[in-house]
Structure 1
Amino acid sequence: MNLHFSALIKTITLAAALVTATLTATATMAVTPSAAQIQQFKNLPPAQQQALAKQYGINLSDLGISNTLPQPSFEQSYNANLQASTGPEIPEANSPAHASTTLDQALLNEPALQPFGYDLFDNNPLGLAPAADIPIPDNYVMGPGDNLVVQLYGKENGSYALTINREGDIQFPEIGPISIAGLSFTEAKKLLQQTVEQQMIGVRISTTMGSLRSIRVFILGDARNPGSYTVSSLATMTNALLLSGGVETIGSLRNIQLKRQGKIVTTLDLYDLLLHGDTSKDARLLPGDVIFIPPVGKTVGVEGEVRRPALYELKNETTAQQAIQLAGGFLPTAYPQASRIERINQLGSRTILDVNLEQSQGLQTRLRDADVLQVFSVLETVEDVVMVEGHIKRPGGFAFKTGQRFTDIVRSVHDLLPNPDLNAALIIREQQPTRQITTLLFSPAKAFAQPTSDANPKLQARDKLVFFNYQDNRTELLADTVKQLNLQANNLQRRQVTTINGSVRFPGIYPLTVGMNAQDLITLAGGLSDRAYSIEAEITRYQFSDSQQQSIMHLTVDLTQPAATALIAEDYLRIKHMPNWVGTETVTIEGEVAFPGTYTIQRGETLSQVIKRAGGLNEYAFVNAAVFTREQLRINEASRLKELEAKLEADIANSNIEAQNSNEKTALEDAEQLLDKLQNSKATGRMVIDLAQIMAQPDISDVILKNGDKLTVPRYRQAVTVIGEVQFATSHIYAKDLNVEDYIASSGNTTQKADEDRIYIVKANGSVFLPSSSSWFSHNKNNGVEPGDTIVVPYDSDRMKPLPFWSTVSQIFYQIALGAAAVNSF
């Protein structure tokens, strides 16, 4: 036994000592490890630690060892080699060297083939030990440790379990030792029968096999977990290999050697087992046998349209045909005529050989080590087919037949989905041999009506029929076609597309069909819309002179005869709107009018005119409190509110940092409450109007209406409302002899937070007046307070010195709140 083999045995013994539980009868025996043995195990290389731990079920973390192996960086080593071998010059994009580099990169990016057969060992090996209850073969050789069950009957009866001792004997009762080691099971039964019949007259014997002995074998070479293993005496080479975890991918599956006393007894080719189910070479093991796994031999890869693409180890196979047989043969989708072999030549560079695997010469092509045989598939494209898509019940492919027409595919309008466009459908046709596309426009309605005429177009192989409806945007359906037409353009052929815009159903970019005119484009775009100016249109046309100068022309199209105007590539057709066209616009009149409701208006119509159409104001109308709202004002007001909210929120955040005394903190709490109310409020878009003056002098004060305007005329109200910093905000019955101070006093007077110098009045019509500054108020005993007015006592802004927007925000909030209340009160 050499030193290397002795070291291996010590390593295996050490690993066995680290196992903490006894495994099954087919596993290695376990002992308790010492501290020295654990330290010795730690001194092993990481890869060997991992392999032994996997074999014996050791958790390396329990020993304070990392479970992660250091992985070499393939990318770093590859880049280093690449830099070392690369010259100073970089090949140009169009040079052969650049093409070769691109090809090499493509080869590197291809998914790697997996070696064939090695996944056989991925399952749990303990479940693959020989069964204990199978019949014993007649040629089974008896040895120490085997157990025989002997049944005596006749003159004497008895049953005995006899074990062969180390000398090879069994101790037979009343007879003595009988040597049976080295005999086959059949020979041992005959020997026992003869001995009993001779020495025990009148007694007969029945012999069966009891428990079997365990034997120790070695698995060496390129095994996943090389070492010594205790296995059943019935174990074969595959049982032992599965128990050890199998073969490394660098090891051979086709030349696994069984050595006995230094000589090769047999070799096992696992391909026979994997591909043919042949176990004839799966020899049974004897004590001391060595299973040796040499390095893998020559390999070739077979990929593409074969049943088992993989890397295969060659044994007697030398040709492409034999490699295909290893891979299970061709798939039905294979195209063997277009196959190739990637090969590393004598100079160390990759080359490609084209082979036809439907010919004998191609099948007999001899393969070399590291060749990769690629079998390509048939083309994805279908030749003799007509495709149908869009607004149709059964889209997809239809078989093409020579002389076929449109109605042979779509037999009637019932084949289309509901609400189809029967005036326009497209044929997208490939031109051979370039396979560039052209488009043709036809009318399905005419084709159905005249099936034998040219209106029912004849089809060609690979035509595509596209159908439309009047709901979906058809430019989206044609986007890929337009894109392909754009890609076909070059300096000799402009983009075969045209654009239509304006008053058509579906404006956009469309293919320029063969012989297209203005009427065709309008039809393809769904036709004119209801507001189209159907007398004339305009074409913008781009032209290029022989000197490569571009010019733009504007042509007038007579829409009474649009078919007379032919279109060319990149024409832009604009369909005008009818002059003074206005869509349906409405306003709403609510409240105290004779006939409230929604009224359509025309451009320039005024508020007083619509009120007159609504029957005029009734006797209950409170004209001074009319509320007029406009959508655009509401949008602007909402935007302004967002800005003020953001500024106030920022001021509050800054002031929270600077607030020191309790008064400042209280003021900030009030500001936060106002901000919360402001965030929950909604803009109304109210515009202040003097409805009484509008009705009295419409020529001077009337309002020109817009779509969506709304007028609410409330019933007469006698209340005057007091809100803000008063003890009790409420409404009071209007009295002519009461002024602002009286109403505030009736609300409990102002609070300590009130700003008495800035008290203001929000009039019923939404306007704001300050009693202290308005000269109009100075001539009125009641300070200008009228029915429907609201007196606002604001918060003292001096308490909010850190908040510059306080006054503005609070005033806007009150106005919004009052406007919303006025609108919602009817």
Structure 2
Amino acid sequence: MQTPLLPQAPQTADYTANLNSDVFGANLFTGNFARAGATQFNPDYLVAVGDRIHLRLWGGFTFENVVTVDPQGNIFLPQVGPVKVMGAANKNLQEQVEAAVRRVFRANVYSYASLAAAQPVRIFVGGNVMRPGLYNGTSMDSLLNYLDQAGGIDPERGSFLTVQVKRGSTVRASFNLYDFLLKGQLPLLQLSDGDVIFVPAIANRVSVKGLVNNAKRFEFKSDKATVAKLMQLAKPQAQATHVRIARNTGTVKNTEYYPLEQANALMLQNGDELEFTADKKPGTISVRVEGEHMNPQEYVVPYGTRLGSLMQTIETLPDSEPESIQLFRQSVKQRQKEMLVTSLRSLETALLTARSGSSEEARLRKEEADLTLQWVERAKQIEPTGQVQIAQAQQRNSMLLENGDVIRIPRKDGLVLVSGEVLFPNAVAFDGQLSLKDYIDRAGGFTQTADAARVVVARRDGAFEQVDTSKLFDATRIKAGDQVLVLPKVDEKKRQFWKDITQIMYQIAIGAKVVFGL
């Protein structure tokens, strides 16, 4: 027998919205405070009507029970009578009960008193919260507990800076929840039955993005707030140097741009949009040199250093192959990845919007689409190498280096790697007398799923050559260190989108030097 699922609290949707909100502080209210009530009494807690107290007397007279503070603020002890405890601090409760017992029993009777449970209370939560209403708890529960039960502060309307607790027409306290979020400060306030937690409307708000740790929308109290005070909340990153402010002036937005040194003098206005940026050239960049050389592997060079000036300082080893120098660049890798993702997204769109002329064709198209979409998901995991072809470039030495570049000086290689749609993908010893066909034959020849007319020869320096084996098979010159990639065949009779798939296979083979079959 299956256990029936418990119904979800009506606040569940509110908690999800709070978690996904870009308003600073909204993620406070996701149900964690509502689920966990108070676990212990603090020493300054004041005993209130309805609290339960565990009493124990022993010695010449024995008594043990849990008693409730009555509406007059008393507890009743046998042989002693009513004892006034309302308003007594928790830390003084034992002393107060003991003094009452001593007035009747001069000796040989000992007492112990401790709070057992706080008064059950009902608290009104109103104003700009997600679900205003009357909520149950105890006088020990925190303000956050009742706000959480109400679904939290409405991120679009409510103020996190001036949450009020009212008793009748009197405001007992006002809370700034930013102090709790940023400093861990939340003053304790003992609530009583019928108290009102009221969330006023938000007054001013700005949005922050860019080089900050807290890219959120922030609230501020007055028109005297500055960018410097906002920075204490947004926490700009170390590389941030300037701030761009788009002023909300109606239909037209005015953009201002300032260095962060002026942050104390920059006043915030309601609706401003701020973006923190890094507006300076880096003083140095880091470049890694790998492979066959005698020098250090990591170089910190001035911004604007060119490849030629760095290579002049590199002493290569005798077995190196400097004419096939390789450059791997992060920005190129990112662009290769973006182009691949764009091609795959285009293929997905075509698959999902293809039309069919009959129900049988529709069934076949659906099967084809399901298989191809699985292939697309696997293809998205392919990571390009980011290699730049520089070995044969005439202006190679004048190329500017970028931070994070990796220069690899390869070792002379006596192998040719044959992979993809061959029977035995393998590394074959280089022989200048062998042709491309010979290398493929030594790897077992083409598989049945190989596209014999589509072979890519990837050179060590990043260049590649697409070979139509039916025309240029014997004319292609293979060098030591080359990689032969035999692409799979895409049956154009069965695949409606065979041209798109073939193009993406080429893209992966060139960018990542792997064969990815369907």
TM-score, length basis structure 1: 0.37
Residue equivalent to 1:351: 254
Look up the match of 1:122.
Answer: 30
| DSSP-derived class of the 1:54 partner | coil
The Cα offsets for residues 268-318 of structure 1, whole Å up to 9 and x where unpaired, read as 0000000001123x4221221100001122111121111111111112661
After TM superposition, the structure 1 = structure 2 runs for residues 170-569 of structure 1, keeping only pairs within 5 Å, are: 170-185=75-90, 189-202=94-107, 203-249=109-155, 250-280=157-187, 282-315=188-221, 318-328=225-235, 330-334=236-240, 336-337=241-242, 339-345=243-249, 347-357=250-260, 359=261, 361-377=262-278, 398-400=299-301, 404=309, 406=311, 408-416=313-321, 462=401, 472-474=457-459, 477-478=462-463
Query: Which residue in the other structure is 1:632 paired with?
Result: none
Contact 1:304 1:374 in 2 (8 A): yes
2:270 corresponds to which letter in structure 1?
D
Alpha carbons of structure 1 residues 312 and 408: separation in structure 2 relative to 1, 3 Å: same
* Pair 473,288 (structure 1): closer, same or farther in 2 beyond 3 Å: closer
In structure 2, the residue corresponding to 1:199 is in which secondary structure? coil
Q: Is the 8 A contact 1:304 1:377 kept in 2?
A: no
Task: Quickly say closer, same or farther: Cα 1:240–1:407, change in 2 above 3 A.
Answer: same
Partner amino acid for 2:52?
N
Q: Counterparts of 2:181 and 2:97 in 1: how far apart (Å)?
A: 42
Give the match's secondary structure for 2:313: helix
Q: Distance in 2 between matches of 1:405 and 1:205?
A: 86
Task: Structure 1 unaligned segments of length 5 or more: list them.
Answer: 1-19, 24-49, 58-66, 69-111, 427-436, 444-456, 480-500, 507-524, 527-826
Partners of 1:187 and 1:364 in 2: how far apart? 52
Give the partner amino acid of 1:348.
T
Contact 1:113 1:303 in 2 (8 A): no
* Residue identity opposite 2:122 in structure 1: R
Structure 2 partner of 1:146: 51
> Aligned pair in 2 of structure 1 residues 356, 363: CA closer, same or farther (>3 Å)?
farther
Structure 1, 307-316 or 286-295: larger mean CA deviation: 307-316
What SS does the corresponding residue of 1:273 show, helix, strand or coil? helix
Shift, 1:226, TM fit: 1.3
> In 2, Cα distance between the equivalents of 1:315 and 1:186?
38
Q: Where does structure 2 lack aligned partners over 5 or more consecutive residues?
A: 15-19, 328-387, 417-456, 465-471, 480-518
1:192 is paired with a residue whose SS is helix
Aligned-partner Cα distance in 2 for 1:287–1:371: 41
Instruction: Find the aligned partners of 2:298 and 2:105 in 1 and give their Cα distance.
Output: 90
In the alignment, the residues of structure 1 paired with residue 10 and residue 56 of structure 2 have an alpha-carbon distance, to the nearest angstrom, of 44
What CA RMSD, in Å, does the superposition of the two structures yield over aligned residues?
A: 4.8
- C-alpha separation in 1, matches of 2:162 and 2:74: 38
Shift, 1:198, TM fit: 2.2
Whole-angstrom CA distance in 2 between matches of 1:467 and 1:237: 64
Compute the displacement of 1:127 (Å).
Answer: 2.9
Structure 1 pair 194–368 and aligned structure 2 pair: CA distance change class (3 A) = same
In 2, the alpha carbon distance for the partners of 1:389 and 1:409 equals 11
Structure 2 match to 1:636: none
Distance, in Å, in 2 between the alignment partners of 1:136 and 1:350 is 52
Please list, as runs of the form range in 1=range in 2, the aligned pairs for 1:748-787 lying within 5 A after superposition: none
For 2:462 and 2:319, the matched residues in 1 are separated by 21
> Residue 412 and residue 283 in structure 1: after superposition, are their counterparts in 2 closer, same or farther (change >3 A)?
same
SS of structure 2 residue aligned to 1:149: strand
Aligned partner of residue 122 in structure 1, secondary structure: coil
Distance 2:459 2:91 in 1: 88
Contact 2:226/2:268 (<8 A) preserved? yes
Q: Which residue of 2 aligns with 1:82?
A: none
Counterpart-to-counterpart distance in 2, 1:503 and 1:181: 102
Relative to structure 1, the CA distance from residue 425 to residue 375 in structure 2 (aligned partners, 3 Å threshold; closer, same or farther) is closer
Structure 1 residues 413 and 315, CA gap change in structure 2 (3 angstroms): farther
Give the TM-score normalised by structure 2: 0.56
Pick 1 or 2: higher relative contact order, CA cutoff 8 A, min separation 6.
2
Question: How far 1:207 moved relative to its partner?
Answer: 2.0
The separation in 2 between residues aligned to 1:389 and 1:378, in whole angstroms, is 32
Aligned in 2, Cα 1:397/1:351: closer, same or farther, shift over 3 Å? farther
Instruction: Measure how far apart 1:138 and its partner are.
Output: 4.1
Deviation of 1:156 (Å): 2.4
AA matched with 1:129:
G
Name the CA shift for 1:255/1:400 in 2 (closer, same or farther; >3 Å): closer
Cα separation, 2, equivalents of 1:278 and 1:136: 16
Instruction: Give the aligned residue type for 1:240.
Output: Y
Q: How many angstroms apart in 2 are the aligned matches of 1:207 and 1:228?
A: 32
The answer to whether the 8 A contact 1:405-1:459 is kept is: no
Partner SS for 2:319? helix
Separation of aligned partners in 2, 1:208 and 1:385 = 66
Q: Is the 8 A contact 2:293 2:316 kept in 1?
A: no
1:647-690 deviations in Å (ceiling 9; x for gaps): xxxxxxxxxxxxxxxxxxxxxxxxxxxxxxxxxxxxxxxxxxxx
* 2:228 partner SS: helix
Distance 1:290 1:370 in 2: 30
